[in-house]
Structure 1
C-alpha cells in the first residue's frame, strides 16, 4: 500500500511541475515568448545518454550530468564522491578491487570470477567488465553521465540499476596546457597535468597525468603503521585524427596504478562482550593481523571510428582492457590471541585475493534522422577471461587449527547483442520512442575449491551455461513548450547469472545463479522556469524484479564465521521519487539540489538461515538521500575574483544487510564540504582552499555482519588542503 501511495504522490508531483506548461492557453503564451539566454549552462548541457547528442533537458530518461567544472569545484576524484550528489546513488567499497554501487536500491554485494554488477560502468562507451575499474581516479573528463534505472536497450546487460559513463576530454584544436598541485593533511600530495593541441592540420593530441598520495587515515595498533593509505598514478592519451572530410578516428589509451596498505575494520553495534573487550579504542585505531595491501592495475586502449556515410552516421568502437588486483585484508580488526587469559576476540578472519582479467569488445552503430524519424541500431560483442585465487582463513581463540578455504577459479564469458532504438516526432509536442535489444551470454566456469573449512573438500567444478534476454523500452514524450517536457517510459533490464565464488558444498558450487530481471515503469518531467534561471526535473518510478540476486550471510553449524552466499530472492519491488533542481539566484550565485526517496521490499519468501526476509527492505537502500550545493562568485577587483563553494549531503538510516538486523544498521549521516578560490583574471592561475567532511563525521561505508556485531570500514575523516592551478 505504501508503494502505491508513493507512486501516486510522485505522479501528482511530476504533473504539477509541468502544469503551467500543460495548460493549452499558457503553453501557447509561453511558447510565443522569445526564449532568453540561459543564465547558467545547465539547460544546455549536451549528453549522449541515448547514443546521440541531445540537450540534457530533451532526454526522456532520468539522467544526471556532471561537467568538468562541477567535478573540479567539488573535488570529485572517484565514483565514491558521487554519493549524495546523484539521487538514490549509494557507494560502498569492500576493498580497492570491489566497489559496490547502488542506484535506486539495486547493486551487487558479491565478487567472484564469473559474477558481474547491477550498475555498469563505461569509459567513452566502452563497458568495463571487472568492478575494479570503478575505483580508478577520475580526471581530465569532459563530463560524467549517470543514468538511473534499467538501460538494457542501449547499454545492454548488467544495467538493471543504471549505468555510469565517463566521457574523456578530447584533444583540442588550439594549444592548451594545465598544471595543478595540491597539498593537504595526512601528507596529501597531488599533481595533475594536461597538454593538448594540434600536431598537424589533421591530427590533434591530448596527454594527461594525475598522481595522488596520502598517508593512511587509520592506524594498525599491532604494527603501529598506517592503513587505508594511497599512492596512485593515472595516465591518459588520445589522438584525434581527421582521416577525411567524412571520417574521424580517435585512438586512446589509459592506465591506472594503485598501491596501498589494507583497509581498516572496526567492530560496531557490539552485542558480544568478548568482541567489545577486544575491539580497537575507536574507529580509527584497530588491531589488524597485518597491514595488508590493496594493489590494483588497470589499463586499456580503444579505437573509435566515426563515418558520416551516405546511409547515416556509422560508429565503430574497438577496445581492449586488462585488470589486475592483489588484495590482502583483515576483516575483523580486533585483538586476537591464543594465549590463555589474553584479551581476545572469539575469532579472526583474513582474506586474500589475486585476480587477473582481460577483455575485448566491439560495437558497431548506425544512426540517422529521416524526416521526423531518428534511430540508432547496432551490434555488440564482448569477451572476457578471468583468473582468480581467493583464500579465506578463520582462526579461533579456542582452537589451534585454522579454518582455510581456497578457491582457484577460471571464468570465460562471451556476450553478443543486436539492438535498435527509434523515435518518431509527430509534431512539435508529441514524440514516441521504441527500442529492443536481444542479448546472449555464454559462460564457462572452472574451479578447484580446497582447504578444511567445509566437509568433503576439495571440490572440482567444471560448468558452462548460456542465457539470453530481450530488453525493450517504450517512451512517450510531450513537449508543452521548448522548455517543458513530461514523459512516460517502460523499460526492461537484466543482469547475467554466474557461479557463487564461495560455495559451502559441492552441490552449491556447481549450480549457477539465475539472471535477474527488472521492469521499470516511470514518469518524469524536465522543466525550465524564470527565463531558464530555474531548472526543475522530477521522476517517479516503480520497478518490479524477478529473480533478484542478493547476498546473504548465514550461520552454519561448525562455522565460526557466517557463510556468504549469492541467491535469487524471487520477486521484489521498489518505488521512489527523484528530484533535481538548479537555480541561478543571481548572475553570481547558483544553488543546486538533488533528492531521492526510496521504498523497497522483498516480496517473496527467502530464508536467510532461520529468518524469512520477505517484507524486508533491500540492503543499502536509504529512504532519503539529499544534497544541496551553493556556488558564489564575487568580484574583488579588476584583477581578481573570489569563488565560494559549499555542499551538504544527507543520507537517512539504512540497513547494510538483507536481514535488516541491528548489527547492520547504519545511522543517518550529515556531511559538509566547502572550498574558496582566488582567481587571477589576467594571470591564468587560481588557488583554492578546500575541506571535505568538515565536521569529521564517522560513518561506516562497508559492513561485514556477524553474530552480535558488525565489522565496519569507515569513510575518510576530515581532510583539507590547498590547490594551485595554472592554465595556458
Structure 2
C-alpha cells in the first residue's frame, strides 16, 4: 500500500524493462508505470480500462474476440489466426499471445509497465509498436492476505481473495482468485438481454523456492474463464447501410434476433529460474506454456431478421523458452539471450446464412420467388439459386515457429556518458493448411453464390529472417536529469489471410510479407525542486515499410471482404510528457500529455474502392491526449489509517475511425449521415479511500465517467453487409470496494 509519511520527496519508481531493477528515470525508453495502488483506488478490473490513463495508448472496449492494443497510433487486432498483433503483452516475461488473450483481469499485480516504440533487443518476441508487461506480486516469507468484495450499479459484484503462506525456510506459496460480474450497458429489445456485460473468473497460483543462495525458482499457473454477452456496435443504418435504422433508433438499444456471445478460456503455466553463477553473472530461464480458446457468435446482419449469424472458434496453443545471461553491474554490462517460440493456431468458422437474405437484397419475400419457381419462371429460379441459404466454412491451422537471439549492452564512458548497443536476429516460419468452402455441407449446394465467395485449400509455408539493431547514447545532464537519443528497429513477420474471401482474392494469393520499422527517439527525464517534481519526456519519429493493413474492401454485390496486404509506408511521430509534482507532504499532482501524428506516407489504391490513401491519417489517431489527476492524502493517526481523495480527467482530441477518411455518407433517400469523425471528449474519474496503514479494513468509494459522457468512440464503422454502426463510451459506473487485510 502506498502511504505518505510526511516526506515530500516523490517515491522512486523501479522497473525491470531492461531485465535489471532500475530507477525508471535512468531507463532510455519512453515508459509508463502503473502501480497496484492506482489500480485498486480507481477500481480498474481489466487491462483495457488502463489505456485511458496513458498518453498515446488505446485499447478496444467491446468484444475480446478482436481486442486491439494501439501505441503511438500503431497497433492491430489479430481476429485472424494468420495475422499477429503489433504490441506484445507479457505476463512475468512470458508472451501472452493473440488478441483474444489480451484483455486480462488485473489480478494481484505489482505494476504494469508500458514500453513505447519497437522492442526486441530485450524481449524474446519482437514487437514493432511497443510492449506491455504485467508483473505479478511474488510469494513472500510472511503469512498475509486479503479478501474483498465490490458492489456497484449495473448489478456489479466482485469477490476476490489472496492468501500468501510461507511453507518452510526459503519456500512460499500464494493463491489469488477473482470473480467479476456486471450487467451490460446495451439493451437488446428483441431478446430482452443486456449486451456488453462482464462475467469472468480468474485465479493464479504461485510457488517461490529459494533452493540455495544462488538458485531461485518461481512457478506460476493462471487461468481466466469468461462467458458473456458481448457487443460489436449499435447499428445506425439498416443492414445494407442504405437507410437509417428504424428497429432501435435510441442509443444503448439494439434489436438483434441473436445475442452476441463470447466464451474465453485463457490459461498458462510458467517456470522462471534465476541462477547466480560465478563472478555475479546471472543465468535466467523463462519457460512458458499458454492456451487460449475463444468461441464467438454474433448477429452480423445487425437486425431482428434471421439473415445471418457468425459461429467462430479460434484456438491457440503455444510454448516458449527464453534463456538470458545477465552480466554483473559494471562500466560494461549486458544481457544476452536466445528465444524459442512455437504456436499452433486452429480456426473453425461456420457463418450461417438464413432464408431472409434473398428478401434483404431484393425487397421481395422469398415466398414470391418460390411461387415463381414452381411455375418454372427462369428469373425466380436464378434468384433462389443465387441467394441459397446454408452454412459457409473456413477451417484450418497456421503454425508458427520462431528462433531468435538478442543482445543489449551499455558501456559507461565516464560519469556522464553511456552508450547502449543491441541487436536481435530472428527466424520465423509460418505454415498454413486451410480450407474455405461456400458449399453447404448438408445439401452440397453453393451458398449465396452471387457473392462469389471462395472454394479451395491453401497448403503453404513461408519464412522470414530479420536483423534489428539498436543504438542509444545517454547523457547525464546533472545528478538529477538524464537525456538520451536512440535509434531502434524491429519487424513483424508476414502471414496468411485466413478469413472469408472471394474466389478472386483466393486465386490472387492469401500471403502477405513482413513489415519493418525504423524509430528515432530523444528523451529527457529527471527530478526537480529537491525531488518534489519528476518529469519524463520524449519526441519520436517512426517509419514503417510494407505496413500490413487489415481492412474491408467493397465488392460489386454491395457486400465487403476482408483484405490483408502490405501498404507502402506509414509514419508515426509526436511527443509525450509525464509530470508528477508533490505540492505538499500530502498533495500530489500528475499530468501526462501526448502529441501524435500517424498517417500513410504512401498508399496508392489503398482505399476500399481503390482510392489513394497517401497522406491520410490512420484510424483512431488523436492529435492530442491528456490526463490530469490529483491525489490528496489525509492521515488519521488515531485510527492508524489515511483518507485519500483522487480525481482524474482524461481527454482525447477528435479523430477519424474510417480508414478511407470519410466523414459523411449519403443514404438512399438523400439523407446525409455523419460517420468517421469523432469529436474530442473527456472522462472524469474519482475515488475516496479509507486505508489502514497496517492490517484491517480498507474502503474505496469510486466512480468512473462521473459526468456520464456519452460520446461515440467509433462512428459509422462498416460491417460485411454494409451496416454502419457506432460504439459509445461506457456510461457512468460507481461502487464500493471493501477489503480486509490480514
The corresponding residue for 2:587 is 589
Q: RMSD value over aligned CA atoms?
A: 2.2
Point out the more displaced range, 384-393 or 469-478. 384-393
- 1:447 to 1:646, Cα distance in 2 relative to 1, 3 A: same
CA contact (8 A) 1:157 1:496 kept: no
CA contact (8 A) 1:94 1:702 kept: no
The SS at the match of 2:257 is coil
The corresponding residue for 1:575 is 573
Shift of 1:181: 0.5
The corresponding residue for 1:412 is 399
Q: Where do 1:82-231 residues align within 5 Å? A: 82-93=50-61, 95-231=63-199
Match of 1:720 among 714, 727, 734: 734
Distance in 1 (alpha carbons) for counterparts of 2:401 and 2:148: 42
Distance in 2 (alpha carbons) for counterparts of 1:110 and 1:441: 17
- 1:628-662 per-position Cα deviation (integer Å, ceiling 9, x unaligned): 11111123562253211111111111122321112
Distance in 2 (alpha carbons) for counterparts of 1:671 and 1:696: 8
CA contact (8 A) 1:433 1:476 kept: yes
Shift of 1:407: 1.3
Match of 2:487 among 490, 497, 522: 490
Q: Where do 1:474-623 residues align within 5 Å? A: 474-502=471-499, 504-506=501-503, 508-509=505-506, 510-558=509-557, 560-607=558-605, 608=607, 609-623=609-623
Distance in 2 (alpha carbons) for counterparts of 1:215 and 1:273: 30
CA contact (8 A) 1:94 1:100 kept: no
Tell me if 1:320 matches 2:319. no
Q: Where do 1:356-367 residues align within 5 Å? A: 356-367=315-326
Point out the more displaced range, 372-381 or 85-94. 85-94
- 1:171 to 1:307, Cα distance in 2 relative to 1, 3 A: same
Q: Where do 1:229-628 residues align within 5 Å? A: 229-263=197-231, 265-268=233-236, 275-310=243-278, 312-331=281-300, 333-336=302-305, 350-369=309-328, 371-393=330-352, 395=357, 397-399=360-362, 400=366, 401=387, 402=389, 405-451=392-438, 452=447, 454-455=451-452, 457-502=454-499, 504-506=501-503, 508-509=505-506, 510-558=509-557, 560-607=558-605, 608=607, 609-628=609-628
The corresponding residue for 1:695 is 707
Shift of 1:208: 0.5
The SS at the match of 2:256 is coil
CA contact (8 A) 2:10 2:582 kept: no
- 1:219 to 1:710, Cα distance in 2 relative to 1, 3 A: same
Distance in 1 (alpha carbons) for counterparts of 2:406 and 2:454: 45
The SS at the match of 1:508 is helix
- 1:661 to 1:198, Cα distance in 2 relative to 1, 3 A: same
Match of 2:34 among 66, 78, 85: 66
- 1:507 to 1:466, Cα distance in 2 relative to 1, 3 A: farther
The corresponding residue for 1:676 is 688
Distance in 2 (alpha carbons) for counterparts of 1:443 and 1:600: 29
- 1:48 to 1:273, Cα distance in 2 relative to 1, 3 A: closer
- 1:213-245 per-position Cα deviation (integer Å, ceiling 9, x unaligned): 111221111111112122111100111101111
The SS at the match of 2:123 is coil
Distance in 1 (alpha carbons) for counterparts of 2:491 and 2:8: 40
Shift of 1:134: 0.9
Shift of 1:157: 4.3
The SS at the match of 2:231 is coil
The SS at the match of 1:250 is strand
- 1:136-180 per-position Cα deviation (integer Å, ceiling 9, x unaligned): 211200111100011122225451110001001000111111111
Point out the more displaced range, 655-664 or 584-593. 655-664
Q: Where do 1:617-656 residues align within 5 Å? A: 617-636=617-636, 638-639=638-639, 640-656=641-657
Distance in 1 (alpha carbons) for counterparts of 2:195 and 2:29: 41
Shift of 1:393: 4.9
Distance in 2 (alpha carbons) for counterparts of 1:598 and 1:716: 24
The SS at the match of 1:698 is coil
Shift of 1:116: 0.7
The corresponding residue for 2:372 is none
Distance in 2 (alpha carbons) for counterparts of 1:38 and 1:433: 35
CA contact (8 A) 1:117 1:158 kept: no
Distance in 2 (alpha carbons) for counterparts of 1:270 and 1:597: 37
Distance in 1 (alpha carbons) for counterparts of 2:431 and 2:242: 44
- 1:655-688 per-position Cα deviation (integer Å, ceiling 9, x unaligned): 2232111222222221111111223557621112
CA contact (8 A) 1:267 1:275 kept: no
Distance in 2 (alpha carbons) for counterparts of 1:657 and 1:495: 24
- 1:303-346 per-position Cα deviation (integer Å, ceiling 9, x unaligned): 10000011511000111110110111124534447xxxxxxxxx
Shift of 1:93: 4.5
- 1:390 to 1:713, Cα distance in 2 relative to 1, 3 A: farther
The SS at the match of 1:260 is strand
CA contact (8 A) 2:453 2:501 kept: no
Point out the more displaced range, 450-459 or 289-298. 450-459
CA contact (8 A) 1:265 1:330 kept: no
Distance in 2 (alpha carbons) for counterparts of 1:187 and 1:194: 24
Structure 1, unmatched stretches of 5+, are: 1-36, 338-347
Shift of 1:194: 0.7
Shift of 1:277: 3.9
The SS at the match of 2:48 is helix
The SS at the match of 1:638 is helix
- 1:433-483 per-position Cα deviation (integer Å, ceiling 9, x unaligned): 000110110110111111235436321111110001111110000012231
Distance in 2 (alpha carbons) for counterparts of 1:228 and 1:594: 30
The corresponding residue for 2:669 is none
Shift of 1:88: 0.4
Shift of 1:623: 1.0
Point out the more displaced range, 622-631 or 484-493. 622-631
Distance in 1 (alpha carbons) for counterparts of 2:112 and 2:425: 27
The SS at the match of 2:184 is coil
CA contact (8 A) 2:65 2:79 kept: no
The corresponding residue for 2:374 is none
CA contact (8 A) 1:331 1:711 kept: no
The corresponding residue for 2:667 is none
Aligned residues between the structures: 680
The SS at the match of 1:135 is coil
Point out the more displaced range, 419-428 or 363-372. 363-372
- 1:38 to 1:379, Cα distance in 2 relative to 1, 3 A: farther
Shift of 1:109: 4.0
Distance in 1 (alpha carbons) for counterparts of 2:129 and 2:238: 33
Distance in 2 (alpha carbons) for counterparts of 1:469 and 1:143: 32
- 1:245 to 1:59, Cα distance in 2 relative to 1, 3 A: same
Point out the more displaced range, 436-445 or 91-100. 91-100
The SS at the match of 2:168 is coil
CA contact (8 A) 1:266 1:332 kept: no
Distance in 1 (alpha carbons) for counterparts of 2:205 and 2:734: 30
Structure 2, unmatched stretches of 5+, are: 1-5, 367-386, 439-446, 664-674
